[in-house]
Amino acid sequence: MTTDTAAPVRSAQLSLRRILPPIVTGQEIVLLAVLVVLWVVLGIFTPAFLTPGSIGPLLVQVAPIALIGVGMTFVIITAGIDVSVAAMIMVSAVTTARMLVAFDIPAILAVLVAVVIGSALGALNGLLIAYGRVHPIIITFGTANLFQWLGLRVFDSSTVNGIPSTLEFFGRGGAGSTFGVPHSFAIAVLAVAAAWWFLRYAKAGRNLYAIGGNQNAARLAGIKVQPRLVWVYVITGALAGLAACMVIATGTATLDQSVGSGKELQVIAAVVIGGTSILGGRGSVVGTLLGAILVQTVVSGVTQLGWPTQLGFLFVGIFILIAVGTDLIRERTRRRA
């Protein structure tokens, strides 16, 4: 290495390229490859996997997971976790659905209601985590119970029937897609793109990695750690609210209290398959999107192959191990180098 003191600026530009992590991570390439292989295999062994009629609904199913996955990626990058997302979906969905039925509010308003509710719940998480200084998993276990209670109260021992098709823009049907691209998936992709840019180039985004890498040092460096943390959980809540709209739209005209259940683990699975380190400080939203698609591909693929449905989750488990395993190995070789 020659130290070119004479031309610091040029030297600066030279190293600029490598100041930020590479545009695509190894994990994303691996995931993409696995996905391509899976899709080709499924395309060969099932009659109709690679048709718009099959891929479209699959992507619709992916959308809410990927969308919340964006928020969850932020959360996990800050070395946190949020196990209350399923309960947040439930509260947002039932409240919004009830308002749709009772007041026939327009779609924009419905989305607004859902997002505001999600944000409020997320803010509670964020405030307790940032200022209570209790581990996020404990706080969100606690709030998950509270939110569930809240959701059940809103359900009031009944289902919400006759939900109008106001939100069909996000739906699985014809109104839910343009040129075969489901709107909900497109929204998820947009969110991923925005988050990718944010995490890579924006000050506030880069600071999340710092917070996750060493929270104390981040505080000493003058980063306002606590407000940042609150925002991260608020964003997750807001996205859960938006996802709730998609859940309403892709569901039937009836909403019951099982809405959202199990989604928290699905989202976390997508995020960790995507290469985000559960220890914080490292992660990518593109990986999360690919992870969400992978999980849904496996589950749908098993059904389409005619195998027992339950086997799908065995494969999901195995994929989690493989995906994170390759990441671990790569990380280890990087460290050694």
Residue 292, interface with another protein (CB under 8 A)? no
Distance (Å, rounded) from C-alpha 286 to C-alpha 70?
Answer: 9
Q: Which helix (H) or strand (E) holds 178?
A: strand 177-178
Distance (Å, rounded) from C-alpha 120 to C-alpha 88?
Answer: 10
Q: How far is the CA of 153 from the CAs of 93, 94, 149, 161, 233, in angstroms? A: 13, 10, 6, 16, 23
Residue among 83, 115, 238, 240 that touches another protein (CB under 8 A) = 83
Residue 234 or residue 320: which is nearer to another protein going by CB?
320
Residue among 6, 16, 102, 108 that touches another protein (CB under 8 A) = 16
Distance (Å, rounded) from C-alpha 54 to C-alpha 73?
Answer: 28
Residue 55 or residue 110: which is nearer to another protein going by CB?
55
Number of residues this chain uses to bind another protein (CB under 8 A): 124
Query: Two tokens at 184?
Result: 């909900």
Task: Name residues contacting another protein, limited to 36-75 (CB under 8 A).
Answer: 46-49, 51, 53-54, 57-58, 61
Residue 79, interface with another protein (CB under 8 A)? yes
Cβ atoms within 10 Å, residue 74: 29
Q: How far is the CB of 143 from another protein (least distance, A)?
A: 7
Task: Name residues contacting another protein, limited to 174-233 (CB under 8 A).
Answer: 174, 176, 201-204, 206-207, 209-210, 212-223
Residue 247, interface with another protein (CB under 8 A)? yes
Q: How far is the CB of 314 from another protein (least distance, A)?
A: 4
- Return the amino acid letter for 137: I
Q: How far is the CB of 24 from another protein (least distance, A)?
A: 17
Distance (Å, rounded) from C-alpha 255 to C-alpha 252?
Answer: 7
